[in-house]
Chain A
Amino acid sequence: MKVQPNLRRIKSKLWLFLWVLLGIVAVLPVISMVLEVVIRGLQGLSPVVLDQVSASSFGGNLIHAVAGTIVITLWTAAMSIPIALMVGVYLAEYPNYRFMYVLRGLVTTMADLPAVIGGLFAFSFITKHSGDGAIMFSSIALSFVLMPRLIRDTEQILRTVPSVIREGALSIGATKRQLIFYVLLPSCFRLLVRQWLHGLARVMGETAPLIFTSFNDQALTLPLSTFTFAKGATQGSLLEAWGRSFLLLIFVSILLLVSKQISRRVVR
Chain B
Amino acid sequence: MKERRLHKSFGDRLLEGVLSLIAVFIFCVFFLLIYKFVIGSLPAWQHIGFFKLVSRQWNLVRGQYGVLPLIYGTFVTSLLAVVLATITGVALAIVLSQYDWPWFNRPMLLFVDGLSAIPSVIYGLWGLSVLSYFHLSVGMYAAGVILALMVLPTIVSTVRKIMNAVPEELKQGALAIGATKEEMIHMVVLPYALQGILGSAVLGLTRAIGETIVIVMVLGFRGQTLTSVLVNDFALRTHALVTSSLYEVALLLCLVAILTSIGGRLLVRSAKRGQRVPL
Contact = CB atoms under 8 A, between A and B. Distances in A.
Given A30-B111, A37-B122, A83 B230 contact: no
A87 B23 contact: yes
B150 to A, nearest CB: 10
Interface stretch (A53-61, A158-166, A204-212): A204-212
A226 B152 contact: no
A18 B234 CA distance: 45
Interface in B24-43: 25-27, 29-30, 33, 36-37, 40
Chain B interface helix/strand/loop/mixed? helix
Interface string A235-267: 000100110010011001100100000000000
Contacts of A167: none
Contacts of B89: 26
A144 B29 contact: yes
A208 B52 CA distance: 28
A36 B210 contact: no
B43 to A, nearest CB: 14
Count chain B CB atoms within 10 A of each CB in A19, A36, A83, A86 and give the residue with the most. Answer: A19
A144 B88 CA distance: 32
A249 B118 CA distance: 7
Contact of B15 (A105, A147, A177): A177
Given A19-B94, A87-B26, A116-B212, A205 B120 contact: yes
Contacts of A9: 180
Interface in B141-181: 149, 152, 180-181
A33 B254 contact: no
Contact of A86 (B22, B87, B185): B22
Given A175-B11, A248-B122, A201 B94 contact: no
B204 to A, nearest CB: 11
A230 B128 contact: yes
B122 A226 contact: yes
Chain A interface helix/strand/loop/mixed? helix
Interface stretch (B53-61, B62-70, B255-263, B270-278): B255-263
B92 A19 contact: yes
Contact of B231 (A19, A90, A103, A211): A211
Interface residues of A, number: 80
Given A19-B94, A242-B125, A124 B213 contact: no
A208 B119 contact: no
A94 to B, nearest CB: 6
Contacts of B114: 30, 34
Given A26-B92, A112-B261, A116-B227, A90 B20 contact: yes
Given A26-B92, A115-B212, A121-B33, A175 B119 contact: no
Contact of B19 (A25, A87, A227, A241): A87
B125 A27 contact: no
Count chain A CB atoms within 10 A of each CB in B111, B115, B185 and give the residue with the most. Answer: B111
B91 A19 contact: yes
B33 A26 contact: no
Nearest to B253: A114
B193 interface: no
A245 B212 contact: no
Given A89-B19, A116-B227, A117-B33, A256 B117 contact: yes
A114 B91 contact: no
A252 B117 contact: yes
A176 B8 contact: yes
Contacts of B115: 27, 29-30
Nearest to A19: B91
A12 B182 contact: yes
A8 interface: yes
A11 B185 CA distance: 13
Count chain A CB atoms within 10 A of each CB in B120, B121, B207, B262 and give the residue with the most. Answer: B121
Given A27-B115, A249-B122, A108 B227 contact: no
Given A26-B89, A87-B26, A19 B20 contact: no
B12 A176 contact: yes
A244 B257 CA distance: 31
B152 A26 contact: yes
B108 interface: yes
Contact of A113 (B19, B26, B210): B210
A106 B130 CA distance: 39
A176 B29 CA distance: 28
B44 interface: no
Which 8 A-B pairs give the minimum distances between C-beta atoms? A205-B119, A114-B210, A112-B261, A26-B88, A208-B212, A12-B182, A23-B92, A22-B91
Given A90-B19, A114-B227, 5 more contacts: A40-B129, A124-B36, A151-B26, A175-B12, A245-B119
22 contacts: A12-B183, A16-B95, A22-B87, A26-B88, A36-B129, A103-B26, A109-B261, A112-B258, A114-B253, A116-B231, A116-B250, A117-B253, A176-B15, A177-B11, A205-B118, A205-B120, A208-B120, A208-B212, A208-B227, A226-B121, A238-B125, A252-B118
